[in-house]
Amino acid sequence: MDCHIEIFHEGQWLEAAHASFSDVVRNGFRPNDCVFEYDLPYAFGDAPAPVSLVIPVDADRHVRKTWPTFLYDLVPQGNGRRFLLDHLKLPDAQASDLPLLCAGAFNPIGRLRIREAVHYYEQHVERHELAADGFTFDELLARSPDFYEMMMVHGMLAAGGTGVQGVAPKYLLTRGHDGKWHPDAALPDDQAQRHYIIKRPRGPSDADRKVLRNEARYMEVARRFGIRSFDIPVLHADMLFIPRFDRRARDGRVQRFHQESVASIAGLAGFGTQADQFELVNAIRSVVDVPLAETIEFIRRDVLNLAMRNTDNHARNTAVQTVDGVTRLTPLFDFAPMYLDPEGITRSARWYHPDSRKELKNWSDILVQLSLPDQERAQVVEALVRFGEQLTTLSGCMREVGVDNDIVDFVTPSIEAQRTQLLALR
């Protein structure tokens, strides 16, 4: 079974690489089950960009024991995964990842897609009559019968439900120049004004709604504390409108930026994998343009995760992107009071001592183990001490932006614990 990987470059889709898999897959993927190679015309073209920041463009044929990990960024998850599993009559198992990739990765986040998935989507459109006129904002909020039918039945593919990962129901919608909202894949680039992810509560409980209601407020707090941010999401009813930063619509054209999870860069296969934060930092530093700045950014984000109890810190909730030739961490995303989630989400990425494998929870111990030049380590310490001083105002800032009072009360002890640790670094 083959999948052909296409990349968006200079306004067009180009075949960049392909991966070949054995027709027989048992218990996942066997040794030598994947052969990966760049398309030769692409490899010898004009300054070709890699499909992954850790897979340089070359003309070699690579026989691999595992998938290239960037492909996992393209495999549908959440509602989109369930939708496709039902369509394909497949069990929810690791062996289904490949057919899901070849059916659902036609319009993912970033600038890659799978050609076989594009064909699957085109066949899907031929089978179903999709609304072509778009929806007004009021129709979107009201989730009119036509809108609901398109989103949940015919339009899951067009709305990109298969192209964005995570458990919470999400749609990829585009606001057109006509002022209406369209399924992302259904609107030509020259008609696009802005691209959004629309997120709904993970489940039906009050806690699920509370998490979603406070996500935009958490994002505003992070922005005020100097964390790299994009335009702050806006909540309308039970729908959170998140402006996308992997695309830029301008002058009738759409730019698609390379975006890749830290899990992919660190070589973590599959989903739900426990990650080592030290390995994630090293992976980030190996691909970004300014390693010191991104190390500080990554650690400051983790301080806020711990202080504000955002426990959903898996390695696909952090990504890097390349914009205007600069590679660095993306703006923050999926930052919310996830300790409230009814499923009991715990931190899946932790700081493990490189030798003992014991989890480290004190920043003084963590900083000693970071693989940094001494001068950089001193600069990291200085930045974190300053951040600790900022944390004095964190609870007040949360109240000021409207975070629910009971959430602020609950996280205040963890804020103080982080502040104390950082100030002790002096």
In the block, residue with structure tokens 């000693």? 368
Question: How far apart (Å, rounded) are the C-alpha atoms in residues 273 and 316?
Answer: 10
What pLDDT, on a 0 to 100 scale, did the predictor assign at position 167?
54
Question: Please, what is the angle between helix 277-287 and helix 291-308, to 10°?
Answer: 150
- Over the stretch 149-188, which tens digit does the pLDDT of each residue have? 666 544 455 545 555 555 567 888 999 999 999 888 888 9
Instruction: List where CATH 1.10.1070.20 sits in the chain.
Output: 258-423
Asked: is 258-423 a CATH 1.10.1070.20 domain? The reply is yes
Question: How far apart (Å, rounded) are the C-alpha atoms in residues 319 and 247?
Answer: 15
In 333-384, which ranges are E strands?
349-350
Which regions in the chain score pLDDT beneath 70? 23-32, 129-132, 148-168
CA torsion angle for 243, 228, 329, 308 (degrees, to 10)? -90
DSSP 366-380: HHHHS---HHHHHHH
Question: How far apart (Å, rounded) are the C-alpha atoms in residues 29 and 25?
Answer: 6
What pLDDT, on a 0 to 100 scale, did the predictor assign at position 145?
72
What pLDDT, on a 0 to 100 scale, did the predictor assign at position 165?
55
What pLDDT, on a 0 to 100 scale, did the predictor assign at position 26?
44
**The two three-digit tokens of residue 188, written as one number:** 């030509």
What pLDDT, on a 0 to 100 scale, did the predictor assign at position 210?
97
What pLDDT, on a 0 to 100 scale, did the predictor assign at position 71?
95
H or E segment and range at residue 79: helix 78-88
What pLDDT, on a 0 to 100 scale, did the predictor assign at position 163?
52
Question: How far apart (Å, rounded) are the C-alpha atoms in residues 269 and 295?
Answer: 23
What pLDDT, on a 0 to 100 scale, did the predictor assign at position 122?
85
What pLDDT, on a 0 to 100 scale, did the predictor assign at position 144?
72
